[in-house]
Chains A and B, each alone.
Chain A
Amino acid sequence: MSHTEPLLQVQSLRVDFVSRNSAPIQAVKEVSFDIAARQCLALVGESGSGKSVTATSILRLLPRTAQIAAHSHINFMGRDLLKLNTHQLRDLRGKDISMVFQDPMSSLNPVFTVGAQIAESLQLHLRLSYRQAMNRAVELLNEVGILKPALRINSHPHELSGGQQQRVMIALAIACQPKLLIADEPTTALDVTVQKQILELLLRLREQQGMAMLFITHDLGLVREVADQVVVMQQGEVREQNNTEALFSAPQHPYTKALLACRPRLNARPQRLPVVDDFINGTVASITGERQRGTHPQDAIALEVKDLCKTFTLKTGLFKQEQLRVLQGISLQLPRGKTLGVVGESGSGKSTTALTLLRLMKADSGQVLFAGKDLLTLDDKEMLAMRRRIQIVFQNPYASLNPRFTVAQLLLEPMLIHGVGADTQARLQLAETMLQRVGLPATALQRYPHEFSGGQRQRIAIARCLVIQPEVLILDEAVSALDVSVQAQVLNLLQDLQDEFGLSYIFISHDLSVVKHISDRVLVMQEGKVVETADSDELYRAPKTDYTRALLAAIPGQL
């Protein structure tokens, strides 16, 4: 690539996970790439692509069951990292190469103040005295944009917000001015606006300190903003490797093309999102036309929420309590057969709205009008009848399916509760039909949830709602935990189901591109209030409030 020696050279890296009882799993297969000094290389791939394993092998932080093949080399400044002993490695970690992890809350030690954690690294690697280290920690916190750093060094991690915690993690990582910073999904757990700030911070620090960066992400949108060079991985192999401009303007491998295309975009709304199979089978061209979205004032209203309020009481001391007003008068209207998108950052009350309107959580006041009745005042028996008609799909398909039930038990339960189907035979028949409708074979019935992938589990969760034929489906971050290619498939499925059964959706998400793609109308929430409601095209074209504008501006990878 260039005549100078690269900073980091990964050569035919191969990592196997061995276990006593089964064949070894090849997590990374012959991966090679170089990072030059001051360069930012992005490793892109979906879950299971081996990108994190690749990154952790550089610092040799792999679990014991992982084996790096003997012919692999990782050269860093002229040394083969795979040949270093424990002592040399410890010297290197945090000093020359440091790492920022995805979840700042679990990466920071909860019992130490953030100052102590930063100082520890400085004392260890730079042999500073405690006082010097603490002073340097204050400077570092200032550098990563934490306000009042002199006070904050005495904070414990739980006293900081997610964004601040990630800033502390970054301060920790750059404390010894490393040559290479490995950032493993550093913004995935954060809200879009915070994500934008963190990205800007990382870019600024890279510029100032002249470090190279290995940026690991599943989000191609982010890559475009940060990386000079991109490596696309799938199933442990490198699919494509190129500089960012070239990769985005002319992707070569079908998988890269699919990754680029299957993510919903703000400037287009295809009838159906292209998926990986389309690119491999060459059926992309069959997707034509844009889908028109929007609502009319005379649309029939399926569900209406009026002035919904909810307050949490937090214990702040032995006798002290604090009232947290999570919902402050939420009103919304869901037109029949349409999709209402609900966006907002974490803590804005999106999920609480969903839970309270379904009475999965008790509301303080307000009305939920459905089929001419106020759901909040119904007795248990009337509510049970209503439950059949409004269903919810949760974010995490790993958590929302009972691990001890087979798929058949999962699907039959709602039918038994609501008396759908004459006998078990008829119910199984219906369960089978619905499974096939969501794209799973009938043989899935006898299996347990843990045997399925995330996307398949979410399909099961959707099928479970469909068997009792609801009219309204609330999708609470239903595609957020899924890989982009799987997300596209599930979004397509949801659209097909809406077209077929005339379902009305409340689609809750923090991802504004996805919401734009699927929604007719969009509601923006902030701190328990509705700040703006408009038809989706209009809202994205001409946002009326500052908050909406800030949200839209933070969407990564825009042109």
Chain B
Amino acid sequence: MSSVMGMPVARSSEGPWRLGWRRLRRDHVAMWSLAITLLFIFIMLASYTGLIARNWNAEVAASYAEPTFDKVTNTDIHSPIGIQRPEAGPPVDISDIDPLAPRYQEWRERTAKIQAVQAAQAVRLPLGADQWGHDVLAKTIKGSEISITVGIVAALLAVFVGTALGALAGYFGGWIDTLLEWLYNVLTSLPYILLILAVAAVFSRGFTTIIMILGLTGWTGIYRLIRAEYLKHTDRAYVRAAQALGASHASRMFRHILPNVSHVILVQFSQNVVGFIKAEVILSFLGLGVPVDMVSWGTILAETQEELVLGKWWQLVAAGGSMAILVTAISMLTDAMRDALDPKLQE
């Protein structure tokens, strides 16, 4: 006690974020989850910029080519086959009787100039091929683009709406709180899927629509949590102290309280990402998701229901597996982040 005037000089100053990061780094599961999540995002970005999986739409294999874990060898690949031309018979001049004869001549000349070559078609691919001979690996990578983007953007939107409304309700209370609680109650009293279907039916199909649907219906959970946090923090001494110093409402809400509830927001964000990736899959599966010319994990899974009957399981495994791995990684990461960032758990 005698050293109150002295300072603990040895330790360098550490903010709550850096402290949280330090704690997170000690957690092996968290670091693996983070690595997996980053890998997915990296692959998604590579696909987005066209570095990989650009030609996912090409028919590179035979229909339903089987997956293999062996190296794909040359013997597996069909040799290029030229289109069979009809044998040239003895020339018969029928131009007198056939009005189309000059045309035939012209067409023959024209086809002679073209050498139609069918591309090499693999009978086996690492993750197999779908009905049209698309490479499932490339397709899954391409599909991650929409699934992950929808997950992240919709979660951002939901978190933004939920945080803003939750902060307003919890901080001000009174009629604002009552109003927002009514809205919350009405929204949550409707079955979630029904709500999504209703909104989806009103808007046209498309990428932005899905994001809007998920974002505008998915904010309720985070709203409730943030409201509770704000209710708790508004009466805390440090907020009172800020008020006594003359800090404005906005400053107290966002400069003071928000960083102290940020761990809740962060965790909710990643949980929403997980939920929305799944929701996109469900929507696309139900045919309310992305348009037919695009591919997402949801559309892949929608295709698989017929394939499964034929015993073609590899698309399901590819899309379902990637989704499961990513979702699990994000969930584990989220769990670890909550522990690492919660100020209550600080040593």
Contact = CB atoms under 8 A, between A and B. Distances in A.
A439 B242 contact: no
B4 A448 contact: no
Contact of A402 (B11, B15, B244, B256): B256
Interface in A367-405: 384, 387-388, 391-392, 394-396, 399-404
A384 B247 CA distance: 9
B15 to A, nearest CB: 6
A420 to B, nearest CB: 11
B2 interface: yes
Nearest to A395: B237
A455 B7 CA distance: 12
A11 interface: no
Contact of A417 (B14, B15, B245): B245
Contacts of B251: 417
A355 interface: yes
Interface centre among B1, B13, B14, B236 (most CB of A within 10 A): B1
Interface stretch (A72-80, A108-116, A481-489): A481-489
Interface string B66-110: 000000000000000000000000000000000000000000000
A360 interface: yes
A234 B2 CA distance: 11
A406 B343 contact: no
Nearest to B8: A451
Contacts of B11: 451
B245 A413 contact: yes
Contact of B1 (A234, A400, A447): A234
A52 B209 CA distance: 61
A19 B4 CA distance: 26
A123 B7 CA distance: 53
A471 interface: no
A537 to B, nearest CB: 31
A401 B238 CA distance: 5
Contact of A404 (B4, B9, B14, B260): B260
A400 B238 contact: yes
A391 B251 CA distance: 18
Contacts of B16: 403-404, 448
Contact of A446 (B5, B13, B244, B246): B13
Interface residues of B, number: 31
A326 B242 CA distance: 24
A21 interface: yes
B254 to A, nearest CB: 12
B188 interface: no
Interface in B11-64: 11, 13-16, 26
B206 interface: no
B1 A387 contact: no
B243 interface: yes
B245 A400 contact: no
Given A387-B246, A443-B7, A448 B15 contact: yes
Contacts of B246: 384, 387-388, 414, 417-418
Interface string B231-245: 000001110111111
B156 to A, nearest CB: 22
Contacts of A468: 245
B237 A394 contact: yes
A412 to B, nearest CB: 11
Contacts of B15: 404, 406, 448
Contact of B245 (A21, A46, A277, A464): A464
A494 to B, nearest CB: 15
A417 B343 CA distance: 27
Given A418-B246, A440-B7, A464-B245, A403 B343 contact: yes
B185 interface: no
A392 B241 contact: yes
A439 to B, nearest CB: 5
B259 interface: yes
Given A392-B241, A402-B256, A406-B13, A441 B4 contact: no
A534 interface: no
A456 B4 contact: yes
A400 B240 contact: yes
Contacts of A414: 245-246
A303 interface: no
A203 B8 CA distance: 42
A443 B237 contact: no
Interface centre among B8, B16, B244, B247 (most CB of A within 10 A): B244
B346 interface: yes
Contact of A451 (B5, B13, B247): B13
A446 B18 CA distance: 14
A450 interface: yes
Contact of B244 (A46, A358, A447): A358
A435 to B, nearest CB: 11
Contacts of B26: 21
Complex A-B, nearest 6 residue pairs according to Cβ-Cβ distance, in ascending order: A400-B237, A387-B246, A404-B259, A399-B237, A414-B245, A394-B237
Given A360-B243, A400-B237, A413-B245, 14 more contacts: A21-B26, A46-B1, A280-B2, A358-B244, A392-B241, A403-B343, A404-B259, A404-B260, A414-B245, A414-B246, A417-B251, A440-B5, A444-B7, A468-B245
Interface of B: 1-2, 4-5, 7-9, 11, 13-16, 26, 236-238, 240-247, 251, 256, 259-260, 343, 346-347
22 contacts: A19-B347, A391-B244, A392-B241, A400-B240, A401-B238, A401-B241, A402-B256, A402-B259, A406-B13, A414-B245, A414-B246, A417-B245, A417-B246, A417-B247, A443-B7, A446-B13, A448-B15, A448-B16, A451-B13, A464-B245, A483-B1, A486-B1
